[in-house]
Amino acid sequence: MNQGDIGKIGEDFCCNYFKKRGFFILERNYHSRNGEIDLIVENENFLVFVEVKTRSDKKIGEARDAVDYSKQRKIALTAIKYLSENGMRKQPRFDVFEVLHHNGKIFKFNHIENAFQYDESFGGKSNC
């Protein structure tokens, strides 16, 4: 199983998780020159930019640890591009969704709402 397959397993699971909670999936793998956002979802209150981290049970450390300052900056700048193209209809939020699997079968997940905030040091203009 390659990294792309593993990532897709986590993203598919995450999509279903959000759908079951009344969210609409707006974008999957949204790209800008600054980076990528795995999922963009919305409900009646929030526009959520989701970073999905999928790890095998053999990987050491928390998946959320991979969403460091540099990754947060890339996500935030990509979110600004999305907002400039689509407008801000709802309160934006940055979530991290961790998925742990063994041989492609998910055995644990963790949804971290509001995992980080837009930081002025990221650069770019924000209405967040």
In a domain, 2, yes or no: no
The pLDDT-based confidence of 128 (bands split at 50, 70, 90) is very low
> Looking at the domain assignment, is residue 79 inside a domain?
yes
Q: Is residue 82 part of a domain?
A: yes
Is the pTM for the entire model greater than 0.75? yes
Structural domain boundaries enclosing 78: 32-40+70-88
50 located within any domain: no
pLDDT in tens, 44-82: 999 999 999 988 766 555 666 778 999 999 999 999 999
Tell me the C-alpha distance between 66 and 47, whole Å: 22
The reply to whether 51 falls in a domain is: no
Count: domains in the chain = 1
Q: 């969210």: which residue's tokens?
A: 23
